[in-house]
Amino acid sequence: MATFKRKGKNEIQAISTASLPDIVFMLLFFFMVSTTMRETTLMVRTQLPEATEVSKLEKKSLVSYIYIGPPTKQFQALFGTEPRIQLNDSFKTLDDIRDFIASEREAMKEEDKPLLTTSLKIDKDTRMGIVTDVKQELRKASALKIVYAARKAE
Amino acid sequence: MARKVPEVNASSTADIAFLLLIFFLISTTMNVDTGLTRMLPPMPEKDQKQDDVEVKRRNIFTVLINKSDRLLVRGEPMDVQMLKEKTKEFIMNPNNDPNLSEIEEKEIPMIGRYRVSKGVVSLQNDRGTSYEMYMKVQNELVAAYNELREELSTSVFGKPYQKLSKEEKDAISKAIPLRISEAEPKNVGGK
């Protein structure tokens, strides 16, 4: 008579997790190639306006950024809520723009210097007064190529 | 008999990879920068006389935005939605209306004779205008030009503007030159 033999204890085989690192590494590489490092910490709120006719910025190395907007929460006690200009990592005034453009130019290669583009990231609730002032300063610094940063509206 | 190599425990590689992954997730951004590209006019020389380039009145399409974000187009109040159509009509001037822009017949390579407009869009804003409104108006004006270029491109070359070669694009931009000028800032309505 046939008897059913029990094979020891009914143990469940451990699931092999050997491929888990591979999967995570794949994700890691995807993020490494498709993202860019955060360059500056934003100290102003920049909610960009929407536009339909936007074009992509091609060469990021030719672009320098000017942020204008009301300071974020943690700076409001110090700087108030009026829109301010941020260059690199700190609040600046209108007079600093020319120095900023000059130093950005200095950092570029000789043949790229005429291609310097300034991207204006401006909060949509900002009044045009400060924007006009900034534009006048840029004209004085002869940084004439500008981009009004905007989100693509569908 | 070959000796068995003891298996290395690799269960922590996943943890290490996760740590790296999370680091990249928080320290990088993915956004693509988009925006409206514009050239500012160069600053006039100090000793240079302010001789305004004579542009006939009919060739100027003035757009004013006041501090409460209202539009005044050629002396008439207007809604933003209407702006694109009006701009296109002004530039093309299909019926040779003496009030709209002057048209000049020009020989353009690859297109042939084309009625090139002499019209200039002049945008002026107040210090109190909101940036959002300003961008909306800019966008509409650019959209008007882009649509005209798109129409010409499909009628002459039979394909959309984006797919044209460099020379064809140059020909189109000669036929429909983008002329949006911003007047010297004025301070009317205060801050």
User: What does the domain layout of chain B look like in residue ranges?
Assistant: 57-182
pLDDT at B1: 63
A135 vs B contacts (CB less than 8 Å): 40, 185
User: What does the domain layout of chain A look like in residue ranges?
Assistant: 50-152
Q: Which pLDDT tens digit goes with each residue over A28-38? A: 888 888 877 77
The answer as to CATH 3.40.109.10 being correct for domain A50-152 is no
A51 vs B contacts (CB less than 8 Å): 35-36, 135-136, 138-139
Helix (H) and strand (E) counts in chain A: 4, 9
A49 burial type by CB count under 10 A (0-12 exposed, 13-18 middle, 19+ buried): buried
pLDDT at A6: 62
pLDDT at A44: 84
pLDDT averaged over every residue in chain A: 83
ipTM of the complex: 0.73
Fold for B57-182, please state it: Nucleotidyltransferase; domain 5 (3.30.420)
**Contact A136/B27, CB-based, under 8 Å?**
no
pLDDT at B47: 59
State the number of CA atoms in the 13 A half-sphere of A42 facing the CB: 18
Does the beta carbon of A21 lie under 8 angstroms from any beta carbon of chain B? yes
Nearest CA in chain B to A129: B127
Q: Which pLDDT tens digit goes with each residue over A96-125? A: 888 888 888 888 888 888 888 888 889 888
Q: Which pLDDT tens digit goes with each residue over B34-43? A: 888 888 887 7
CA distances (Å), origin A124, targets A45, A67, A131, A133: 10, 12, 11, 16
pTM above 0.90, yes or no: no
**Cβ atoms A62, A116 nearer than 8 A:** yes
pLDDT at B191: 42
